[in-house]
Every structure is written in C-alpha cells, then in structure tokens.
C-alpha cells in the first residue's frame, strides 16, 4: 500500500522546483503526492525566508497539523511533519525547540537525503518517541543534483529547471547567501539532459532558475565554462523547446552574450525580470547592490536596443533603513522612466543575521505603508497601460489549462501575461460541439488576437494553431 506525502510550497519558483524534486526522491520509497494534508503520512512545508513574517506563517501551519498528527496517533497511525527550505536553514535548531511536533528540519541543500532522514524519524518513532528529532542543515561538499532521480514525471507544457543556486552578492537585506550558500552552477551537460527529458514529456516552455541566474558559469565539459547566454543558445537547439525564460537576474551580470540571445533567438522570450530594489544611489549603496541607477539605466538601454519589444519587471523594497523622502522620489522617477510591465514591491522588514537588520535608522511603519501605496499605484498604472497596448495585436500564447467558460483555455503570452483564449471565436473558431475537443489544444502554442485587457490579464480569440 502506497503512502501519501503532501508538500506545501511557499515563496519563489525555485521552491516550486525543489518541492517537485522532493516528490521525485520519495517516489521510489512508496510515496504518492497528495492534494491536501488531511490523510497524508508525511507533510513537508517548503519554506521561504524572503516574505515578511515567513516563520510565523510556518508555525501557524504546524499548529494546525499538530492536531491532526495527535488524532492519528490515537488511532495508532503515524504522521510525520517536516520543514524544508530557507526558514529551515536559517532557524532550524530554534524551530525544533519551539515546535515539538516537527519531526524533521532539512535545509535546501539536503533534500536528496530525505529518505534517510525519514528512515531515522521512523526508527525514533518506533522506539516510542511521539516526534522524531532529525535536523540536517549542512552544506554538503557534494551537490544534491548528483543524487537526484534522473527521471521525473511531469504534467504540463511549462516547467522550471534549476541551473544555479546561491549568491555571492551579499546585499544588506538578503538572507540567500546564508540559507542557500555560495553560487553554484550545474554542469552544462546535466542541464541539457534534464531539459531534453522535459521536452520529451511534452514541455514547450522552460524557465531557468537561480537565485542569481545570470551569474551562471557551468562546466562545459571541455575544460571551460559557459555563461547563461551560451547555455540558452545550446538549449535553443533542442527540437520542440519553443520558449526559454530565466529568473532571477542581477544587473551586474547582464553581459553582452546574454543580451545578444534576446536579439538573436526566437525562443528567448522578450520579457525579463531585472530587480533594482531602489532608484536612489544612496540606498543602492547602503543595500550593497554594487551598481548605480545610471548603470541600471545603461543596461536597460542596451537591452532595448537589442530587443525593442522587450518588456521588463522588477522588485522594489520600500522603507529601507535610512530612506529619505528624496530617496523614495528617486525610486518613483526610475519607475516612470523604465515603465515596467509588472513589478513586485514590499515594505522593508529586517531579516535576522543580515547587516540591515541592525541598522538603527529604521523608517517608521506608517511612512513605509504610505510610500508603498504610492509606488504600487504607479506600478499598477503602468501595468494596465502595458496590457491595454496589447489590444488588437496578435501574439503566440502557450495554452496551459482550462478556463471557467466552455471553449476557453488559459495560457501565457510571450510577456508572461495571463491570457483567456476563447477558441469558439476568431478567424478559425472551433465548433465546440462538432470539432475535436478544444482541450486537445492544451499544451500547444496558438496564434491569438487580443480583444480585451484588464489590470492582471488579457482576453483573446483564436487566429490559428501554430503546431
């Protein structure tokens, strides 16, 4: 009889990828993925340390799981609770003390050892302990990628693929260098092999992941290294791989080879997430970003010269320690000049262990809230303008799932916009009752004419199927 594992994923796309690989690791040991925690034999909370009060949300979830765990124990059944990811890495020992219901805490570099941890937990439980005590947050000398299953089940036309982990930038607000470690790039051959495997399973779009993805320098197998631009060129040669994206990038690592890939390769999508965090040179310096606003503008200019239709998104932190009214106005000015298609913005909140967390020049909470509201209003205005500019245009859309209406599928544009495609309307509209089921178009790239736009999505009609 198979066992059930429920994995709850918090935060970034890399955690989504990691959760999938944890399921892969557990599959040979008889675990099937469950859709909910109720009834699961193992629950894994894959955590993120970037968002505010991340740890508190995890403790709240553990409180709910503890009641179910205790109820199952009364029935003579075991349920194991594991905490993985960056919160686990940063606060592992404290979590074990604070939440006795936790059986296992594992850092993001150790999940390939999950079966061994689970075996240890089971042995402790069989010895009479209500909760096991397994803590593994070491940074192993050998990479976890060397120990992961080579074959992974996948369902859907779009997939994530981690190619790089860790960061050497040490921004003053960020915990990544401490929770994910130093920068590591996977060998080129391993990346290409995994990408080919995904395409063989029907994947059309791959998003390359890394905390600092454009710092990628993978072993090319010939005694040299390959940059991200070179890797994208190699991936472009895989037949059936129609789209390549990557995230998250740093302005300092946007080299010419990568910019040229946007210019030369149809598969390299005209959309780039390039975080800047602030538009003030003084704050950028305090953040240890190691670039100025003018250097950021120069990168944008080079990108747009190479690919005029390129759309950009970014990240912003509001109320970083020492941020003045003028510093914030500089951020608004940068946003007005770049005009992002989308952007994520947050109020600064201290992360234990980071340099900024001990800065005494903290910005009052009410000031941060007021600034965030102004920034988000401007970002939303630009996002709506960008979406409305799509009306009347034709674009390729990758159809990923069913919509709420008959004959409707949801997909993504080249600019990562969510598009509701009505296959019953347009130049090659389908007769839902007479034609082949419209769900046969799932996973395909189709040509779509955009007829309506809102703040967060587009509506389109079918022009033609591409392949």
Binding site feature residues for [4Fe-4S] cluster: 12, 48, 86, 167, 171, 174
Contact status, residue 318 vs residue 371, Cβ threshold 8 Å: yes
Contact status, residue 100 vs residue 131, Cβ threshold 8 Å: yes
259: how many CB neighbours lie within 10 A of its CB?
A: 20
Q: Which residues pair with 44 in a beta bridge?
A: 7, 82
Q: Which two tokens stand for residue 230?
A: 């070179």
Binding residues: 12, 48, 86, 167, 171, 174
CA distance 353 to 356: 9
Residue 67: exposure state from Cβ atoms within 10 A (0-12, 13-18, ≥19): exposed
Q: Which two tokens stand for residue 256?
A: 């010419």
Please tell me the total number of residues recorded for the chain in this structure: 467
170: how many CB neighbours lie within 10 A of its CB?
A: 13
Measure Cα distances from 324 to 182, 346, 368, 379 in Å: 33, 16, 11, 20
CA nearest to 237, candidates 266, 208, 270:
266
Contact status, residue 408 vs residue 402, Cβ threshold 8 Å: yes
CA nearest to 171, candidates 368, 349, 355, 359:
355
CA nearest to 425, candidates 448, 394, 441:
448
DSSP string for 164-196? EE--S---TT--HHHHT-S-EE--HHHHHHHHH
> Under 8 Å CB-to-CB from 123, ≥6 apart: which residues?
none
Q: Read off the DSSP letter of residue 430.
A: -
CA distance 175 to 52: 12
Q: How many CA atoms lie within 13 A of 393 on its CB side?
A: 16
- Give the distance between the most distant pair of CA atoms in the chain: 69
Q: Which two tokens stand for residue 434?
A: 């007479």
What stretches of 273-403 show up as alpha helix (H) in DSSP? 281-286, 293-306, 325-338, 365-388
């Amino acid at each position: 009889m198979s066992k059930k594992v429920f994995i709850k994923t918090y935060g970034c796309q890399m955690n989504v990828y990691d959760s999938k690989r944890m399921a892969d690791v557990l599959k040979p040991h008889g675990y099937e993925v469950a859709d909910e925690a109720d009834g699961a034999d193992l629950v894994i909370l894959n955590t993120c340390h970037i968002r505010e009060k991340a740890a508190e949300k995890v403790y709240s979830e553990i409180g709910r799981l503890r009641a179910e765990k205790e109820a199952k124990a009364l029935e003579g059944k075991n349920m194991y609770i594991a905490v993985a990811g960056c919160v686990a890495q940063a606060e592992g020992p404290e979590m074990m003390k604070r939440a006795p219901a936790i059986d296992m805490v594992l850092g993001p570099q150790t999940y390939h050892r999950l079966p061994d941890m689970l075996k240890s937990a089971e042995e402790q439980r069989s010895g009479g302990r209500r909760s096991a005590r397994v803590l593994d947050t070491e940074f192993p000398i050998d990479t976890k990628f060397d120990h992961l299953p080579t074959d992974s089940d996948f369902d859907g036309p779009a997939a994530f693929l981690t190619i790089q982990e860790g960061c050497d930038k040490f921004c003053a607000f960020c915990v990544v260098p401490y929770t994910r470690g130093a920068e590591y790039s996977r060998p080129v051959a391993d990346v290409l092999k995994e990408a080919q495997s995904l395409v063989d399973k029907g994947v059309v779009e791959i998003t390359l992941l890394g905390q600092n993805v454009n710092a990628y320098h993978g072993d090319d197998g010939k005694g040299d290294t390959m940059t991200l631009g070179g890797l994208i060129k190699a991936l472009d040669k895989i037949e059936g791989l129609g789209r390549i994206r990557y995230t998250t990038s740093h302005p300092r690592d946007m080299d010419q080879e990568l910019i040229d890939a946007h210019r030369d390769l149809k598969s390299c999508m005209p959309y780039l997430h390039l975080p800047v965090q602030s538009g003030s040179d003084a704050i950028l310096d305090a953040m240890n970003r190691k670039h100025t606003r003018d250097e950021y503008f120069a990168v944008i200019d080079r990108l747009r010269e190479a690919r005029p239709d390129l759309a950009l998104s970014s990240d912003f932190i509001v109320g970083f320690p020492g941020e003045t009214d003028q510093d914030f106005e500089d951020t608004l000015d940068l946003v007005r000049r770049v005009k992002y298609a989308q952007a994520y913005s947050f109020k600064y909140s201290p992360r234990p262990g980071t340099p900024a967390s001990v800065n005494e020049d903290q910005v009052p909470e009410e000031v941060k809230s007021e600034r965030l509201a102004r920034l988000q209003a401007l970002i939303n205005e630009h996002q709506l303008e960008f979406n409305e500019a799509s009306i009347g245009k034709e674009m390729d859309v990758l159809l990923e799932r069913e919509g709420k209406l008959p004959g409707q599928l949801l997909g993504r544009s080249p600019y990562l916009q969510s598009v509701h495609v009505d296959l019953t309307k347009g130049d090659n509209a389908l007769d839902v009752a007479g034609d082949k089921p419209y769900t046969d178009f799932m996973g395909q790239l189709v040509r779509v004419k955009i007829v309506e736009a809102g703040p967060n999505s587009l509506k389109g009609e079918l022009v033609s199927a591409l392949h």
